[in-house]
Structure 1
């Protein structure tokens, strides 16, 4: 199983330099797509419902303090099967900006449900469970 850092590195390898927000959201949608279509996680790390959308603290620690992350900054070693999953997501969503991807996550239940009761300015650290991703995106496909 890949790590989120390797998946993010592969996304950068495919797409080139990008904002950290966009990288986080493409990793999030890769995980959601894998759970919904394959029934298992792409990587073990979790996401939290931060005010800017889903964020993996493990990945955040790799790019803390940066706005742009550059191709080659993260290890991109993943299997061919893992690459296929990520490619499906990147091929459909990489043309969107980080802000557009974030806005999309804000309209979807896994993030919205974990933000319930929080003010828009609260950072938030509630876990978005893999089960909620699998359940929601099985009914509302990432690539739909």
Structure 2
């Protein structure tokens, strides 16, 4: 699987959306896949950009576009996910899918993995530091355990 397969799946389920929203949804798919499935749904990494988590490879694919649709990813395969993987992506879309790109960016800015990767940088400063799987897993596992306790 790649981030492009996930992007195609997201867009097929949700329809056309902004590139920024796609980036954030893909990030949350990666994050919750690590927590719930204890595995990466895809290997591509995210960096702590000014507008939140961004996958550079995905960015290169939609660079210059405001809105994206599944047609941009026609050569990728959104049908080969396991039942567990589809369930993870569907849960992420159910929870985050109705937020706007800006709301998702704002949420992302409040979370430790993005903040830790950026360190002391000003909010608008350029940053290409990777948001590590370890920091993603540690933070979102804690969030998940807190939710389970309620």
Task: Give the equivalent residue in structure 1 for 2:20.
Answer: 21
Q: Aligned pair 1:47/2:57, yes or no?
A: no
Structure 2 residue runs of 5 or longer lacking an equivalent are: none
Q: Deviations over 1:69-116 (max 9, x none)?
A: 023221342413322211110011100001001100000000011112
Task: Give the equivalent residue in structure 2 for 1:119.
Answer: 122
When Rg is computed on C-alpha atoms for both structures, the one with the higher figure is 2
Q: Aligned pair 1:37/2:39, yes or no?
A: no
Q: CA RMSD in A?
A: 1.2
Report how many aligned residue pairs link the two structures.
141
Task: Give the equivalent residue in structure 1 for 2:106.
Answer: 103
Change (3 A) 1:111 1:16: same
Distance 2:123 2:140 in 1: 24
Distance 1:99 1:124 in 2: 19
Q: Deviations over 1:8-65 (max 9, x none)?
A: 1100000000001100000000110010112111100000000000000011011011
**SS of 1:54's equivalent?**
strand
Task: Give the equivalent residue in structure 2 for 1:130.
Answer: 133
Task: Give the equivalent residue in structure 2 for 1:85.
Answer: 88
Contact kept in structure 2, 1:13 and 1:72, CA below 8 Å: no
Structure 1 residue runs of 5 or longer lacking an equivalent are: none
Q: Structure 1: which 4+ aligned runs deviate by more than 3 Å?
A: none
Name the TM-score, length of structure 1 as normaliser: 0.93
